[in-house]
Amino acid sequence: MKINGVSIDNTFAEAFPMKATRIIITAHNLEWAYHSATAMTGFATSVIACGCESAIEKELKPSQTPDGRPGLSVLLFTMSKKEMIKQIQNRVGQCVLTSPTSACFSGIDEGEKVALGKNLRYFGDGFQISKKIDGSRFWRVPVMDGEFLVEESTYMSKAIGGGNFLVLAENQEIALKACEKAIKAMKKIPDVIMPFPGGVVRSGSKVGSKYPSLPASTNDAFCPTLKGQVKSELDSSIGSVMEIVIDGLSQEAISEATRVGVLAACSLGSKKGVKRISAGNYGGDLGPYHFHLRKILK
């Protein structure tokens, strides 16, 4: 299979089950909503070391938020309920509660209930007050700029992490340009995030390492500088490889994000240096979700 001269490998991305929640952050204006959400989703690229994977999903108009102010929706993925509770409390407490004019609400209404502001309310030192609206409890916590309004709980649903595809190009500049076009298209798809910086990861990994203490190490088969030293997946035309990782609330969302992302990356064409699209998998043994590139692109 080729798209605009770009070869599509006959392979699949291997993904695994995760837990996810959506949190809505609002503020006096969109700039301050971004300050809060950007801080909250910092250091959240991979559960390998960050505890969670998180990113801003999309902007919300005042008509789309609970308090009628501009806002952002954030998706947060973890491997367990215990870790989800920990990450929400730490990130909302340190990055949303602290941010001027911010408020925080649940953006998902099904699944397993977990605390959002339930424990953060104690920052009010006994002066916090609550109100129940349409079955949901909200807390008003006194802070120095006025009040921090936060919903008591959010919900955690089943989700999928680790969807991915690889862009193989002649050089670093072309690989990055193709990935930038892919991310721009993928951000229009709901229910997914691309958690790495700018949505792109250059340090794709394999499971295991020659060093026993490391659970993952560089994906040497796709490292262009190692072509002569390992069993390489790259020929002489490939000078740079970059990966886009996708976390989503459903298989359908990840498939659609993959489809539009690959098409956008291939729009540059082979003549401009994009040579192949591939994907990362571990032989099908790591995760139960397999996203076959050619099937998705048909």
Q: What is the pLDDT of residue 284?
A: 86
Q: How many residues does the chain have?
A: 298
**Beta strands 103-106 and 146-151, pairing class:** parallel
* pLDDT at residue 159 in the model: 98
Q: Do the beta carbons of residue 232 and residue 270 sit within 8 Å? A: no
- Assign a CATH topology to domain 19-157: Alpha-Beta Plaits (3.30.70)
Q: What is the pLDDT of residue 266?
A: 98
What is the structure's pLDDT at 176?
A: 98
Place of tokens 């920990």: 86
What pLDDT is stored for residue 110 in this prediction?
Answer: 92
Q: Is 272 exposed, middle or buried (0-12, 13-18, 19+ CB in 10 A)?
A: middle
* Topology alike, domains 2-14+160-297 and 19-157: yes
- Alpha carbons 273 and 237: distance in angstroms, whole number: 9
- Any idea which fold 2-14+160-297 has? Alpha-Beta Plaits (3.30.70)
pLDDT at 185: 98
The tokens for 174 are 């072309």
Cα separation, 285 vs 147, whole angstroms? 49
Sketch the domain layout of the chain as residue ranges.
Answer: 2-14+160-297, 19-157
Classify residue 247 as exposed, middle or buried by CB count within 10 Å of its CB (0-12, 13-18, 19+): buried
HSE-up (13 A, CA, CB side) for residue 186: 33
Over its length of 298 residues, how does the chain's per-residue pLDDT go in tens digits?
999 999 999 999 999 999 999 999 999 999 999 999 999 999 999 999 999 999 999 999 999 999 999 999 999 999 999 999 999 999 999 999 999 999 999 999 999 999 999 999 999 999 999 999 999 999 999 999 999 999 999 999 999 999 999 999 999 999 999 999 999 999 999 999 999 999 999 999 998 999 999 988 999 999 999 999 999 999 999 999 999 999 999 999 999 999 999 999 999 999 999 999 999 998 888 899 999 999 999 9
pLDDT of 125 reads: 98
SS (H, E, C) the chain: CEECCEEECCCEEEEEEEEEEEEEEECCCHHHHHHHHHHHCCCCCCCCCCCCEEEEEEEECHHHCCCCCCEEEEEEEECCHHHHHHHHHHHHHHHCCCCCCCEEEECCCCCEEEECCCCHHHHHCCCCEEEEECCEEEEEEEECCEEEEEECEEEEEEEEEEEEEEEEECCHHHHHHHHHHHHHHHCCCCCEECCCHHHCECCCEEECCCCCCCCEEECHHHCHHHCCCCCCCCCCCCCEEEEEEEEECCHHHHHHHHHHHHHHHHCCCHHHCEEEEECCCCCCCCCCEEEEHHHHHC
Contact between 50 and 44 under an 8 Å Cβ cutoff? The reply is: yes
CB 27 within 8 A of CB 183: no
